[in-house]
Amino acid sequence: MSKTASPALFELIKSLTKSEKRYFKIYASRHTIGEENNGVRIFDFIDQQKEFNEEEIYTNFEGEAFLNQFPITKNRLYEQIISALDAFHSSKNLDAQLYKMLHSINILYSKGLYDHAINELKKAKRLAKKHNKIAILLQLANEEKRIIETQGYQKANTKSIDKHKNETYELTSQYNFYNELWSIKSKLFIQLNQYGQARSPEEVTEYTKLFEQFKKITPPEKITFENQYLINHLKSAYFFGILRNEDSLNALIDNLNHFKKNPDKINENPNQYFSILTNIIHLESKFGNSRAIHTYLNELKSFPHQLKSSLTEDLTIKLFSSINSIELKVLNQEGSFEKATLLSKVIKEGFEKYNGEITPFRKAYLAFNMSIAFFGNADFNQSLKWINMILNNKELDQKEDILSFAHLLNLLIHFELKNDNLLPYAIKNTKRFLTKRKRAFKFETLFLKNITKISNAQNKYEIEDLLLNVDEEIKALKNDPFESVAFEYFDFHLWLISKVKNKSFQEIKREAYLMKIA
């Protein structure tokens, strides 16, 4: 049996919490009569595997009858686990409760118990309206139509039909508005993920075209909580993309207040609330608002305690990557590189624990800031290891922003390590990469031109002259809105100053930070 057999069952079992595993075994025992539960035995064996290996399963259960149709046995076990999870979460998850009620309505209808179905439908509508579940309300509206027709309109009149029509129209209007917003927001984020903030007037135009689509949409009379969240979310993304960071921050704070006015929505939508907090911290860091950064960071750290039982595995992973990313970035901005390097152990453990569950971009962002921490601490070998984690990751081909700056930082690391033989090859490779992906903006072009000259310099005095001459050009780019984005990843100008002044990068970075907050 091949080790490359589908790992779906293994992945599902490994995703379960202790409580979910315990519940599955209770659930499975209720559905097995008069024989040992082979599903639980297979479950327990797979659960103890570190890596999926189907050959081990065949070896361990050799001679067992169920192995003759093992693919069917696996599928049944997979479905049984899903059924157990559905039962386990049905009392905790609002959507699960509503869909269960919807299913009950269908069962009662099929039995001809139309009055019972109507009573269940009314309860489901009250709950769905309370929590503004538009998609489910539309399904309930269709069920109501079906029952009214089946009963031959005996319990309906013109007034009730008009009321039903108006309610359905309002729901449809809200749902269509949501779809329009979601579509535009998603296109904005695809562009942001691939290219980052605008680096040219042409890129600003592309973002603005999308935003113009939003401005043309006619909103419904009443805007639901979810739609207002999407409006604020879309605005913050757009303003961020076109470098209007202050407007982006204001839209994010509007969204934070939107949630705080509706505190029950925080537990319902923890991912959204958490993302708002992390994005606010990111923008506050651009402005150097140290007090605000630490206030929001403390709120973010306390967020898991607020959620308690609502904390999912997915959110746990996002909290791990975001909290560590923010702490790393804040420490790096302060020039506290030694403290930042201490986070490497926690981050490595997280990478091992969550393995493929962290998105490639999140992993790259952590690795990039970890590389900066070691670079600032003058541990260039460790810095190179972290940057190679990005450069060797084939899944990051579309994440051009982070990859581009990883290539540039890689060149500085080789320069600091005095890898004179490797540096020319690395420069050539970086030029090819940026040209192919059309990322050769003014900063990248100037940087590569001068790092090439430096790598060809004959002595340290020639290098010092080159560094001194490029200082004014780099400073001008730092004040250019389109080019300043490069310095938010890594402050290449401060590195240049450290070389010109013959001081450590950490010392120069610390001085610059203290001046900024003074």
pLDDT for res 152: 85
Q: Does residue 109 have a pLDDT over 50?
A: yes
Rounded to whole angstroms, how far apart are CA atoms 514 and 518?
6
Domain check: are 396 and 511 in the same one? yes
Q: Pick from 112, 140, 156: which residue ends a domain? A: 156
Is residue 364, in this structure, part of any structural domain at all? yes
pLDDT above 90: residue 239 = yes
Instruction: Retrieve residue 500's tokens.
Output: 């010109």
- Sequence-ordered list of residues with C-beta below 8 angstroms from that of 186, at least 6 positions apart, any chain: none
Query: For the ranges 148-157, 186-195, 220-229, 509-518, which has the lowest average pLDDT?
Result: 509-518
DSSP 417-459: TT-TTTHHHHHHHHHHHHHHTT---HHHHHHHHHHHHHHH-SS
Q: How many domains, the chain?
A: 3
In this structure, are 495 and 361 located in the same domain?
yes
Residue 83: Cβ-neighbour burial (10 angstroms; 0-12, 13-18, 19+):
middle
476 and 457 within one domain: yes
Q: Which of 388, 433, 379 is nearest to 409 (CA)?
A: 388
- Report yes or no on 137 lying in a domain: yes
Residue 42 forms part of a structural domain:
yes
71 occurs within a structural domain: yes
What's residue 386's pLDDT? 97
Question: What's the whole-number mean pLDDT along residues 372-390?
Answer: 96
Q: How confident is the model at residue 353, as a pLDDT?
A: 86
Predicted local confidence at residue 209, as pLDDT:
94
Structure tokens at 518: 């003074």
Between residues 429 and 91, which one has the greater pLDDT? 429
Residue 148 lies in a domain: yes
Which pLDDT does position 5 carry in this prediction?
Answer: 67
Judge if 446 and 467 occupy the same domain. yes
- Over the stretch 393-429, which tens digit does the pLDDT of each residue have? 887 765 567 888 999 999 999 999 988 888 888 988 8
Q: What percent of the chain has pLDDT over 70?
A: 94
Binned at pLDDT 50, 70 and 90, residue 308 comes out as low
Residue 340 lies in a domain: no
More confident residue, 338 or 516: 338
Radius of gyration of the chain (CA): 29
pLDDT in tens, 123-144: 999 999 888 888 899 999 999 9
Domain end (from 74, 90, 106):
90
Beta strands in 5-76 (DSSP E): none
Residue 359 phi/psi, 5° resolution? -60, 150
Kindly state whether residue 191 falls inside one of the protein's structural domains: no
**16 and 139 share a domain?**
no
Which of 305-314, 415-424, 446-455 shows the highest mean pLDDT?
415-424
**Both 455 and 510 in a single domain?**
yes
The answer on 427 and 494 residing in a single domain is yes
**Looking at the structure, do residues 24 and 152 belong to the same domain, yes or no?**
no
Is pLDDT of 35 > 70? no
Average pLDDT over every residue of 501-506: 88
Do both 368 and 442 map to the same domain?
yes
pLDDT at residue number 398: 54
Asked if pLDDT for residue 343 goes beyond 60, the answer is yes
Residue type, 318: K
pLDDT score of 91: 66
Non-local CB neighbours of 508 within 8 Å, separated by 6+ positions: 494, 495, 497, 498, 501
The pLDDT of residue 456 is 73
Residue 3 has pLDDT above 70, yes or no: no
Domain ranges, residue 130? 94-156
Cβ count within 10 A of residue 398: 13
Distance of CA 409 to the CA centre of its chain: 24
Q: Answer yes or no: do 15 and 152 share one domain.
A: no
The overall average pLDDT reported for the chain is 86
Tell me, yes or no, whether 65 lies in a domain: yes
Name the DSSP class of 501: T
Task: Report, as an integer, the average pLDDT of 484-505.
Answer: 84
Same domain, 114 and 82: no
| Band of residue 482 on the pLDDT scale cut at 50, 70, 90 | confident
* pLDDT of res. 106: 92
* Structural domain ending residue among the three candidates 104, 137, 156: 156
Q: Same structural domain for residues 141 and 46? A: no
Q: Is the pLDDT of residue 55 over 70?
A: yes
Mean pLDDT calculated for residue range 326-353? 92
